[in-house]
Structure 1
Amino acid sequence: MTLRIWTAIMAASVVLPLSAAKATDLEVTHWWTSGGEAAAVAEFAKAFDATGNKWIDGAIAGSGGTARPIMVSRITGGDPMGATQFNHGRQAEELVQAGLMRDLTDVATKEKWKEIIRPATLLDGCTIDGKIYCAPVNIHSWQWLWLSNDAFKKAGVEAPKNWDEFVAAAPALEKAGIVPLAIGGQAWQASGLFDVLVISLGGKDFYEKVYSAKDADTINGPDMARIFKAADDARRMSKGTNVQDWNQATNMVITGKAGGQIMGDWAQGEFQLAGKKAGTDYACLPGLGVNEYITTGGDAFYFPLLKDEAKSQAQAVLASTLLNPKTQVAFNLKKGSLPVRGDVDLNAANDCMKKGLDILAKGNVLKSTDELLSADIQKQKEDLFAEFFSSSMSPQDAQKRFASIIASAD
């Protein structure tokens, strides 16, 4: 059965509680605007439209850092959308506490989300004072090094199997006119790259001491100095990238203009859209080939309180649609992410996605920094690493700044 036929069957088979008689339009805001992301979100829209309601797409160009302030401003300013994307974690915490977001506990209870969503921490992140306020839709892990097989072939060196081999291959790539490591100019990319170094080079215990325990001795110690040395190596290897958006950096790997990119598994959507095959055209190293742990980053949808009863009912339908097993498969195969349901079949997954599923099955999963740090601390961290990657700031000074930021975290 082809994926196209399978998707058509999926759209026709979604059974949800509202009848078409109560159908309505519902605006959904998100920041999925790259080619691969747009293809994935179209699966959500298709499934929701099949219920008789209408998905009104409110895509906001740019990253989450660009979109979130707009989303928050609309909700707090009295112009709420029907549903909006946020990342797993604490990004909507203040909106919930202000009484502006809808309680989804009734939907979650009826559809047994506590039994089907894995890992359970994803639903914990949606829960405030015992009530569930969001619908998790995927698991995105940051801890990947994407490699262009053509780039390494052109440079005359074997594709690396780990971070140290990648750093060692950088001179050969540069000699061949290839940027070793592509990274876009947005602050979240630099901050996310650093977090990958912490968990992948430092390991599970080190990561938890830094971001969970916020242990001052660890953050100021020699092991953290080694992480900042690796960040300095990454900064040196990324010179000449000269792009802004993450998917532009991914495209440099796809076209062989860059040897690699540290980016989340959402990059798979871009490789897939370009017709590239995992294991043949490109390779992926979870945990940078060192420590194969992933974090439970990803996306969830929140639903602002609405006065319109029909739209409020449509919100419940959308929440149900997002977690429908067939919708979960169709969306995540195109997004490159892992499903939040533990009971779906992903036999069609590519080699890289299967690596992620294997890591998830082993339980090598940790909370993301979005779950462990407030939005304010995350912003301070992003500002630090944006400056570090665009300047000559020393690793030692950066470590001191980082220690000060984490010391003030709540």
Structure 2
Amino acid sequence: MKIRLMAAMLAATVVLPFAAANATDLEVTHWWTSGGEAAAVAELAKAFDATGNKWVDGAIAGSGATARPIMISRITGGDPMAATQFNHGRQAEELVEAGLMRDLTDVATRENWKEVIKPSSLLDSCTIDGKIYCAPVNIHSWQWLWLSNAAFEKAGVAVPKNWDEFVAAAPALEKAGIVPLAIGGQAWQAAGAFDVLMVAIAGKDVYQKVFGDKDADVAAGPEIAKVFKAADDARRMSKGTNVQDWNQATNMVITGKAGGQIMGDWAQGEFALAGQTAGKDYTCLPGLGVNEIISTGGDAFYFPLLKDEEKSKAQEVLASTLVSPAVQVAFNLKKGSLPVRGDVDLAAANDCMKKGLDILAKGNVIEGADQLLSADSQKQKEDLFSEFFANPSLTPEDAQKRFAEIIASAE
């Protein structure tokens, strides 16, 4: 559904150079409210406040699926914030096309974003009709399986090295009273887990054909049937999770109540907050230990057009601050994500982050589903997998048919 616009929002503001900006307060909305996320956001706020301006935190509790409609409603309703989080991809596309988002091309050109932001697909996701509309802040990859070393020790089995070993260990975990796989009740968690299984089991090329090329025949074919078989295993192993939020599921791994979790690398922020050490207390398997690939999803900040000239100037300061080298290091070390700059030193990275950086350096990357599918298509996919994980009577075969129909009409 196209966004309904208010004529009052169409007035453009004057863009002045970064150096001319004066101190002012900027409200920044986002959905980073878990403990680890809050610690990372504090680094952004501290850096912006150090410019003489003030970060006014507009955190919205819940997931992006909860926050985005609120953010969009405010922008289209004439009450825009100064900056707002969206995922890399097409979530803000209609807002940009409607003329409601600020063009950051001058800032990006002045600070050589095209040269320093890697991979180039991150900035491509910010670019519409040759103009840059957002400041990327991290690379978040979905392609991880997080394992509790204590849970496997209690179950008397070795920590798995790949997905097949993890599935094989499930009975021993269950016998020890441990949920093998923690998946929260939010729809995006189920859909994200399926995407990770697709890359691990069907491979990078099939993933691209389905989500990039929108090939419904491949989506209905035998390779994706194998993925649905794995998703059925995941559904069985996640029975008994009984939590809603992703960080609650992560906490089950941290406390040894669950053997593992398929989740993006933002989970690392929760492990760090709990004082756990990668390689000692928990194990990470990029690509589920099968295909070591990083998806270049993550987060960027967009800047709605404002009528207040001073706030408009300060928006440039914030955009510059978010991409600056020191902020990239401080923020991403807390967040568990990888920096968007290819020229920063992350010597302090833990074992799991180093694995991610190594995969990124090798170029083993794919674009995230948010970058390849429209928000509407993503929502249809999330609805399907929410039902699939919640309803055992929905067979893998029937679910695959519905999945292929979604891909056939995907944008």
Identify whether the pair has TM-score above 0.5, normalized to the shorter chain: yes
Partner of 2:129: 129
CA contact (8 A) 2:154 2:176 kept: yes
Correspondence 1:328 to 2:321: no
Q: C-alpha deviations, 1:19-72, integer Å up to 9, x for none? A: 78x201000000000000000000000000000000000000000000000000
What is the letter of the counterpart of residue 87 of structure 2?
N
Find the counterpart in structure 2 of residue 206 from structure 1: 206
Within a 5 Å distance, the mapping from 1:221-240 to structure 2 comes to: 221-240=221-240
Equivalent pair of 2:89/2:125 in contact (CA under 8 Å):
yes
Deviation at 1:202, TM superposition (A): 1.1
Q: Please list every run of 5 or more consecutive structure 1 residues that lacks an aligned counterpart in the other structure.
A: 1-15
Q: Is the contact between residue 138 and residue 299 of structure 1 (CA under 8 Å) also seen in structure 2?
A: yes
3-state SS, counterpart of residue 359 of structure 1: helix
**Does the residue aligned with 2:226 lie in a helix, a strand or coil?**
helix
Alignment-derived partner of residue 154 in structure 1 = 154
Deviation at 1:214, TM superposition (A): 2.0
- Please tell me whether the aligned partners of residues 265 and 337 of structure 1 are also in contact (alpha carbons under 8 angstroms): yes
Q: Report the equivalent of 1:401.
A: 402
Q: In structure 2, the residue corresponding to 1:180 is in which secondary structure?
A: strand
Amino acid at match of 2:283: A
Match of 1:96, SS state, is helix
User: Contact 1:268–1:336 at 8 Å: present in 2 too?
Assistant: yes
Cα separation, 2, equivalents of 1:401 and 1:248: 30
Which residue identity does 1:168 align to in structure 2? A
> 1:340 is paired with a residue of what secondary structure?
coil
Cα deviation, residue 223, structure 1: 1.2
Partners of 2:308 and 2:381 in 1: how far apart? Answer: 40
Distance 1:214 1:17, change over 3 A: closer
Pairwise CA distance, 1:17: 4.2
3-state DSSP of counterpart to 1:347: coil
State the shift of 1:371 in Å: 0.7
Residue aligned with 1:146, SS: strand
| 1:176 to 2:187 alignment | no
**Displacement after TM superposition at 1:216 (Å):** 2.6
1:53 maps to a residue whose letter is N
SS at match of 1:352: helix
CA contact (8 A) 2:102 2:133 kept: yes
Deviations, residues 194-223 of structure 1 (Å, cap 9, x unaligned): 000011111111111111122232111111
* 3-state DSSP of counterpart to 1:301: strand
Structural mapping, 1:268-283, within 5 Å: 268-283=268-283
Tell me the distance in 2 between the aligned counterparts of 1:276 and 1:294.
23
Is the 2:217–2:404 contact (alpha carbons within 8 Å) kept by the matching residues of 1?
no
Distance 1:82 1:391 in 2: 41
CA spacing shift, 1:43–1:19, aligned 2, 3 Å: farther
Quote the offset at 1:192 in angstroms: 0.3
Q: How far apart, CA to CA, are the structure 1 residues paired with 2:144 and 2:80? A: 35
**CA–CA distance in structure 1, aligned partners of residues 29 and 215 of structure 2:** 38
| In structure 2, distance between residues paired with 1:94 and 1:194 | 27
TM-score normalised to structure 1 length = 0.95
User: In the alignment, which residue of structure 2 is the partner of 1:102?
Assistant: 102
4+ aligned runs moved over 4 Å, structure 1: 16-20
Secondary structure of 1:139's counterpart equals: coil
Match of 2:302 in 1: 302
Count of residues paired in the alignment: 394
Map of 1:23 onto structure 2: 23
Residues 105-129 of structure 1 deviation map (CA, whole Å, 9 limit, x = unaligned): 0100100100100001100000000
Query: Secondary structure of 2:138's match?
Result: coil
Amino acid corresponding to residue 374 of structure 1 in structure 2: S
Match of 1:386 in 2: 386
The CA deviation at 1:18 is 4.2
SS in 2 for 1:38: helix
SS at match of 2:58: strand
| CA-CA distance at 1:137 after TM superposition | 0.3
Paired residues for 1:308-347 under 5 Å? 308-347=308-347
One-letter identity of the residue aligned with 2:205 = D
CA distance, structure 2, for counterparts of residue 371 and residue 171 of structure 1: 37
Q: What SS does the aligned partner of 2:283 have?
A: strand
Amino acid at match of 2:403: F
What 5-or-longer segments of structure 2 have no aligned partner? Answer: 1-16
Q: Equivalent residue for 2:70? A: 70
Partner of 1:251: 251
SS at 1:79 equivalent: coil
Deviations 1:250-286 (A, max 9, x none): 0000000000000000000000000000000000000
Structure-1 separation of matches of 2:344 and 2:71: 31
In 2, are the aligned partners of 1:150 and 1:281 still within 8 Å (CA)? Answer: yes
Distance 2:312 2:215 in 1: 44
Q: Distance in 2 between matches of 1:75 and 1:66?
A: 15
Once the two structures are superposed, the pairs formed by residues 356-395 of structure 1 within 5 Å of their partners are 356-392=356-392, 393-395=394-396
Contact 1:19 1:52 in 2 (8 A): no
* Whole-angstrom CA distance in 2 between matches of 1:69 and 1:227: 31
Contact 1:29/1:58 (8 A) holds in 2: yes
Query: For 2:38, what is the secondary structure of its paired residue?
Result: helix
Rounded to whole Å, the distance in 1 between the matches of 2:148 and 2:159 is 8
Read off the aligned partner of 1:255 and give its amino acid letter: T
Distance 1:174 1:52 in 2: 55
What is the TM-score with the length of structure 2 in the denominator?
0.95
Residue by residue over 1:143-195, the C-alpha shift from the partner in whole angstroms, topping out at 9 and shown as x without a partner, is: 00000000000000000000000000000000000000001000000000000
SS in 1 for 2:343: coil
